[in-house]
Chain A
């Protein structure tokens, strides 16, 4: 009888210690998780900030200014643009070989000045 009691006592003590340990571990992990979540939020907002910064570096106003002043560029005019008409046609491979040259020629002809 005494032996059983002794075993049971030991078991209780062991389980109690184990419980305390688990509790401690769970709190520690929770803190870690919490920290990680905060870090996630921080990184997210940092990402957003950098995105906005990137965008601010690439606004039309800035690109326009740099292109004009630094690179001496000017706006495209239709007079210096060649418009190429691309008409999509379904054709079998053999057809394509046969009409390839013609198609190209007509494309050139169809292109606007």
Chain B
């Protein structure tokens, strides 16, 4: 029988282990836990910000929510300017395989409407980033995306489109590639048109998909739409007419302004030469200038109705008062003023009708300079322009204390002071609006304007009669006549200043004006036309500017559904029904 040892009495167990060993193990485990706790505390409390940030850098993204720039609309809600998507094409030249993908790149060059060599040159400019072409049409961008060329990318951008093109260019203006207004209404109302981009914070997953919103979302605020008082049809028509006139008269430039005589709204304001706002290569200053607002000139005879109005208002003259203008010249303190043609004795009405400088000066010299200055100022001459527009000017009217008598005389017929066409047109509201000059506006309004009284209503009515005579047979502007609508207006032909003088005979340069209104009893429209340096032979305002006035008034009143106020010989021929055999 073998000897066995009982398990419980195994000598191995009997040997006593030292107590420190178990204590050591416990301590080691405790230390490990302590280390973990310390680390956790470090991450969660002490260095929390750092880790939070690192996490966010890896997964959180801030997305900008772009806001749309507001549209510019005409008075009927038609779009004059709007932003559309126009992706920009960019490249990482290093990633583009110029040799292997040559056919594709050639196609790309063709789509972008640039020679292949130019594309190649662009790709050689930089290694990491280069704009290939900014703001291309959305359709073309789609085709480019379909080509799928490595290293060529697109970025979503917006581009302004101007459907009316050159006709409305000077009013609407344009924006730069960053969508900021540079000219015209785009610049004037830039702050209102601009939207406020929004923002949202999201967490993106490994594949770049947004999976969770963090924090609050700032929604984008789109820019406001601006509704102008301009009627795009009238605008187009006025532009076509002034363009045709400038070309026919071989003039330097021309402008036309159409004002609603009741509300003071600008229905059209056009200049030629103009430009196409979204194709602005090789723009010249002459094309850019909004002459109707920014160029001032001596108005010439167009000022005469103001002088006569003053005389009538002060009671010094009546419409029938006879003024002797013979022999067609008048000497004032050593300086002689002339009429274009000598006239003899004229009534005040006839002074306006035949546009006599001498007659007007004789009326003016009966009045104190201060009264004249005050009337001109009230009508807006030499005053801070009441309409806001980039580059708008105030013209010039010197303080009356410095006037010499000859200056007072020449000012009465429009020399020695300056105004823009727009100022001229607005000042004529005095005659259309019962003696009140009303504020003009580029924004649509429906309320009748409230004006400042310059003349009495009866004076204004008398002047309207004289303007009608001036635009009628025997006047200086019969070419202003229209079919069916009674018109009144004043032509003006001013010598252009050349250096210090007005040039010598045979070498003069002219500026031809016509400002008038229709229908004359209750004017709905005031139209001003200005042609700069007509050189095709004729240069009188009544010859070159009045026809533009006539056509513009005719079409605009028809478009406004104004019924003719004078009889028209009907020319309606009812087609007879053919007899059957």
B-binding residues in A (CB < 8 A) = 26-27, 30-31, 34, 45-46, 48-49, 51-52, 55-56, 59-61, 64, 75-80, 82-83, 112-113
B163 touching A52, Cβ below 8 Å: yes
Choose one: A48, A59, A75; the contact of B236 (CB below 8 Å): A59
B232 touching A82, Cβ below 8 Å: no
Nearest CB in chain B: distance from A17 CB, A: 19
Choose one: A27, A34, A61, A82; the contact of B165 (CB below 8 Å): A61
Choose one: A51, A55, A59, A60; the contact of B237 (CB below 8 Å): A60
Q: Which of B13-21, B46-54, B568-576 contacts A (4 or more CB under 8 A)?
A: B568-576
Nearest CB in chain A: distance from B233 CB, A: 5
A79 touching B483, Cβ below 8 Å: yes
Give the interface SS of chain B, mostly helix, strand, loop or mixed: mixed
B210 touching A31, Cβ below 8 Å: yes
Choose one: A48, A76, A77, A83; the contact of B82 (CB below 8 Å): A48
Bound complex: CA A46 to CA B139 (Å): 11
Bound complex: CA A21 to CA B79 (Å): 50
Tell me which residues across on chain B come within 8 A of A60, comparing CB atoms. Answer: 164, 167, 232-233, 235-237
Tell me which residues across on chain B come within 8 A of A52, comparing CB atoms. Answer: 79, 82, 84, 161, 163
Tell me which residues across on chain B come within 8 A of A45, comparing CB atoms. Answer: 68, 84-85
B83 touching A48, Cβ below 8 Å: yes
B564 touching A34, Cβ below 8 Å: no
- B78 at interface by CB-CB < 8 Å: yes
Nearest CB in chain A: distance from B87 CB, A: 11
- B9 at interface by CB-CB < 8 Å: no
A-binding residues in B (CB < 8 A) = 68, 78-79, 82-85, 138, 161, 163-165, 167, 202, 205, 209-213, 232-233, 235-237, 240, 483-485, 554-555, 558, 563-564, 567-572
A113 touching B570, Cβ below 8 Å: yes
Q: Which residue of B lies closest to A35 (CB)?
A: B209
B212 touching A77, Cβ below 8 Å: no
Nearest CB in chain B: distance from A107 CB, A: 14
A80 touching B210, Cβ below 8 Å: no
Tell me which residues across on chain A come within 8 A of B164, comparing CB atoms. Answer: 59-61
Bound complex: CA A78 to CA B519 (Å): 14
Bound complex: CA A80 to CA B564 (Å): 12
Bound complex: CA A42 to CA B483 (Å): 51
Choose one: A27, A59, A113; the contact of B568 (CB below 8 Å): A113
A112 touching B213, Cβ below 8 Å: no
Q: Which residue of A lies closest to B567 (CB)?
A: A113
A30 touching B570, Cβ below 8 Å: no
Bound complex: CA A39 to CA B567 (Å): 60
Choose one: A31, A49, A78, A113; the contact of B211 (CB below 8 Å): A31
Bound complex: CA A83 to CA B161 (Å): 39
Bound complex: CA A34 to CA B68 (Å): 19
Tell me which residues across on chain B come within 8 A of A83, comparing CB atoms. Answer: 563-564
Tell me which residues across on chain B come within 8 A of A59, comparing CB atoms. Answer: 163-165, 232, 236
A30 touching B167, Cβ below 8 Å: no
Bound complex: CA A26 to CA B212 (Å): 8
Q: Which residue of A lies closest to B156 (CB)?
A: A45
Tell me which residues across on chain A come within 8 A of B84, comparing CB atoms. Answer: 45, 48-49, 52
Nearest CB in chain B: distance from A37 CB, A: 9
Bound complex: CA A105 to CA B484 (Å): 24
Q: Given contacts A48-B82, A49-B138, A51-B82, is CB(A30)–CB(B161) below 8 Å?
A: no
